[in-house]
Amino acid sequence: MDCDKCGREAVMNAAYSGLHLCEDHFLSSVDKRVRRRVREDNLVPDDATPEEPETWVVGLSGGKDSVVLTDILHRTFERDPRIELVALTVHEGIEGYRDESVAACEELTAELGVRHELVSYEEEFGVRMDDVVEDDPENMAACAYCGVFRRDVLSRYAEELGADKLLTGHNLDDEAQTALMNFLEGDLAQIAKHFDASLGGFDERGAGEDPTREAGDHFVPRAKPLRDVPEKEVALYAHLADLPAHITECPHASEAYRGEIQSLLHDLEENHPGTRHSIMAGYEELAALAAEELGAREGGSADLGECEQCGAATTRDRCRKCSLLDALHAA
């Protein structure tokens, strides 16, 4: 099959658009989608200057998504003094698996000349995910523990590094799966959060600003510039660009429900190309309506306090992270 743009041999066929693209035009199409998302979500503020640049912390795991995102952002802003990139890698304590992906992170950041920070669960919390899986005092999937700990580390270190934005490598499949899970679970609060604290809420208030927060609260907005690109295209990009991505599934991955949703979406996309894009288009409108409705019900403010142990924002006396750590240390 020939490329629709130049007639050279095509390396991919995007069924949802009908396009056949050669290597060069495929790589360019992914670059353009990421850069368009950066523009449409106003990630670079008008008042950013070389004298007062924006600091963007990128969650770099070493997997294909975060590696591709870091590479594209670096090439996009390499000569733009208004943006400074910092790569932040979290070592969860998974023997073999994370060690190899950290090596990929170090190789990439050294090649690009991007500042790289590495933190670990063991240093931060005194636990390793390998040990968590063995103890499991809460009888939960490993991903449930890891998600809580990872969000805490990324948020705290983004703040410590002076980040104006925290960017993650979630792709189109990731986002569509989460959207469908939240909808099937009837989780209106989580749907609203997509507007409040993700790209759906990037408007005149600023990137991802949560309207339920008090004016004095510090909050590092999150962004997902890769969210318009399907997972298979991200993997192909990493391969064609010869990026040092560690493409291996975590040995503790056990999100059975997400796996079912993933299979369902795969089948739907095969039979009805464009399903993922349609889900996200509708979900973002639904999220905006949900955020507006919940905000009106709650009078525009959330009942947030501080965790009595670590000071993190929470609706409980102790945040979920501290509760899990207490259970683990007591096991």
Distances (CA, A) of 206 to 45, 73, 187, 198, 243: 9, 20, 25, 11, 32
How much is the pTM? 0.89
- Predicted local confidence at residue 205, as pLDDT: 29
- Predicted local confidence at residue 41, as pLDDT: 92
Task: List, for residues 123-168, the tens digit of each pLDDT value.
Answer: 999 999 999 888 888 888 888 889 899 999 999 999 999 999 999 9
- Cα angle 82, 87, 92 (rounded to 5 degrees) comes to 155
Q: Evaluate whether 192 touches 291 at the Cβ level (below 8 Å).
A: yes
Asked, for residue 64, whether it belongs to a domain, the answer is yes
Asked, for residue 257, whether it belongs to a domain, the answer is yes
Long-range pairs of 265-271 with CB within 8 A, sequence gap ≥ 24 = 265/173, 265/176, 265/177, 265/180, 269/15, 269/16
Asked, for residue 33, whether it belongs to a domain, the answer is no
Q: How far apart, in whole angstroms, are the C-alpha atoms of residue 155 and residue 20?
A: 40
Residue 278, token pair as written in the block = 């349609």
Rg (CA), the chain: 20
Of the candidates 147, 72, 141, 83, the one whose C-alpha atom is nearest the C-alpha of residue 112 is 72
Asked, for residue 174, whether it belongs to a domain, the answer is yes
- Predicted local confidence at residue 127, as pLDDT: 92
What b/e string do you get for 180-204 counting C-beta neighbours within 10 Å, with b at 16 or more?
A: bbbbeeeebebbbbbbbbbbbbbee
- 303 is in which domain, residue-wise? 47-330
CA 185 to chain centre: 21
The CATH number that applies at residue 159 is 3.40.50.620
Asked, for residue 114, whether it belongs to a domain, the answer is yes
Asked, for residue 119, whether it belongs to a domain, the answer is yes
Number of folded domains that form the chain: 1
- Predicted local confidence at residue 295, as pLDDT: 74
Asked, for residue 182, whether it belongs to a domain, the answer is yes
- Predicted local confidence at residue 254, as pLDDT: 67
- Predicted local confidence at residue 201, as pLDDT: 39
- Predicted local confidence at residue 207, as pLDDT: 35
- Tens-binned pLDDT, residue by residue, of the chain (331 aa): 899 999 999 999 999 999 999 999 999 999 999 999 999 999 999 999 999 999 999 999 999 999 999 999 999 999 999 999 999 999 999 988 888 899 999 999 999 999 999 999 999 999 999 998 888 888 888 888 898 999 999 999 999 999 999 999 999 999 999 999 999 999 888 898 887 554 433 332 233 333 333 333 457 999 999 999 999 999 999 999 999 998 888 887 766 788 899 999 999 999 999 999 999 999 999 999 998 888 766 655 456 688 998 888 887 888 999 999 999 988 7
Q: Evaluate whether 194 touches 179 at the Cβ level (below 8 Å).
A: yes
Q: Evaluate whether 87 touches 109 at the Cβ level (below 8 Å).
A: yes
Distances (CA, A) of 168 to 211, 222, 314: 22, 8, 23
- Predicted local confidence at residue 199, as pLDDT: 41
